Amino acid sequence: RRSEQRKEEILQQAQTPTVVVLLHELTEYEGDWSILPALPHLFATYGQLASWFIFVEEETRLRLAALLRVFIMFVFSKEWFLGRGLHDDGASIIHHYAFSEDPSSFTYPDPSAGWAVSKPLLKRLAVRLQHESLKSDFTIDLHHEIALYVWEEGNGPKLTAVPEFCSQMRDNCATSFTTFLPDCGEPVPKTDVFVAVKTCHKFHHDRVPVVRATWEKDAGFLEFYSDVSDSSIPTISLGVPNTERGHCGKTFAIMRRFLSGAVPRADWLLIVDDDTLVSLSRLRMLLRCYDSREAVSLGERYGYGLLHKGYSYTTGGGGMVLSRVAVSRLMSSGCSCHSDDAPDDMVIGRCFTSLGVPITHSPLFHQARPDDYSGKLISSQQAISFHKHWNVDPLAVYKHWLKDDLPRDEL
């Protein structure tokens, strides 16, 4: 709905021939969100018509007249990669520690400000994509990976920073951004969200106390699921042993319990790790934008094998949000874990792909720590989650990035 609104706004401004394509409608393939798989189709369909291709988020506002003035400054017969530049502040695990000796030496586009490529660059990328595979099967941080692919280890252009590509509106901006947390009305009630925290015995005394000291108080319903029962917390054992790798067996047991009469009935299920930090008040605001009567899977979206018709999934560490309808469809489909230690988030994503349930992305969920993201990017967000306690003070992270002085429904 938001992208349809944006499309209409753009076309109303158009004084020259302008085509607006919604990626989720481009082809039958849900993985077009990762853009690279869609480039050959985009070039084949629109390459004879357009000199420039710009990619924006559904909350990015365009001023077409100003954008055209930007494009006039660049010779469109050359390869150009334009946008608002971001760079890592330090070596980042989500970027596989690329450019760790000098993180600021490589820039990648801020998705909220939009980014553009000239037709010659799009043509070369489209041809290249049809003849070679990506270095990694995983799509983790889309725009960093696109910038790396465009750069091609120095054979392609680096991002050219354009001041008219903006995250906040100024007089000369061709693009600007509103918010990743749109106001869709009153937050859903606390009791509409059931929270499941996955833990294990060895973390009962260091990770669980962090949850209790930070965001647990904002939950309407919350249960800790462990490999042992501990009445002092309390934790619930689901009869699934702890595993060092994935937690598929435990997560599927949680979903079965969510649908049973053993817990209070709620419209939404949030599944997190015991080292996930969450703003439940912001999550409840975001959930008002979605219909719990539909099959919804929401969180930070990653991809696996997307160049070859793979599947998307919601990262477990950032928090997986599922509507009751989605959980019900999944559990009645026959999809299951091939082992207890299979990666739960990937298995669920593969199941939803086979069921035709889309994975809905929000960049407010984070699989890693604040330090692993560009400060320029996350400082403009109202984050919903961060993950991992490694080399950080989780209480300080929660207080700085996630804690609201007042509950959102009292602001």
Question: Domain end: 154, 177, 200, which one?
Answer: 177
Instruction: Tell me the average pLDDT across 189-199.
Output: 98
The answer as to whether 408 is a domain residue is: no
Pairing of β 221-226 and β 193-198: parallel
Query: Do residues 19 and 104 share a domain?
Result: yes
The pLDDT value recorded for residue 407 is 47
CB atoms within 10 A of CB 295: 20
Query: Do residues 151 and 18 share a domain?
Result: yes
CATH number of 356's domain: 3.90.550.50
Q: Is the pLDDT score of 77 beyond 80?
A: yes
List Cβ neighbours of 61 (8 Å cut-off, separation of 6 or more).
Answer: 6, 9, 169, 175, 176, 177, 178
Query: Do residues 40 and 146 share a domain?
Result: yes
List Cβ neighbours of 312 (8 Å cut-off, separation of 6 or more).
Answer: 30, 31, 33, 301, 302, 303, 304, 306, 349, 353, 358, 359
Instruction: Tell me the average pLDDT across 231-241.
Output: 93
Instruction: Tell me the average pLDDT across 169-179.
Output: 91
Query: Do residues 347 and 203 share a domain?
Result: yes
Residue among 264, 267, 234, 238 at smallest CA distance from 252: 238
Instruction: Tell me the average pLDDT across 83-91.
Output: 94
Q: Say if CB 327 and CB 255 are below 8 A apart.
A: yes
Q: Using only the alpha carbons of the chain, give its radius of gyration.
A: 22
* Domain range enclosing 268: 190-402
The answer as to whether 411 is a domain residue is: no
The answer as to whether 183 is a domain residue is: no
Q: Using the CB atoms, write b or e for 117-135: b if 16+ within 10 Å.
A: bbbebbbbbbeebeeeebe
d(CA 275, CA 283): 17
Domains of the chain: total: 2
Higher pLDDT, 96 or 211: 211
The pTM score is: 0.94
The answer as to whether 185 is a domain residue is: no
Q: pLDDT for 99-148, tens place per residue? A: 989 988 999 999 999 999 999 999 999 999 998 888 889 999 999 999 99
Instruction: Tell me the average pLDDT across 324-333.
Output: 98
d(CA 369, CA 397): 9
Query: Do residues 108 and 216 share a domain?
Result: no
Q: Say if CB 219 and CB 189 are below 8 A apart.
A: no
Q: Is the pLDDT score of 409 beyond 60?
A: no
The pLDDT value recorded for residue 406 is 54
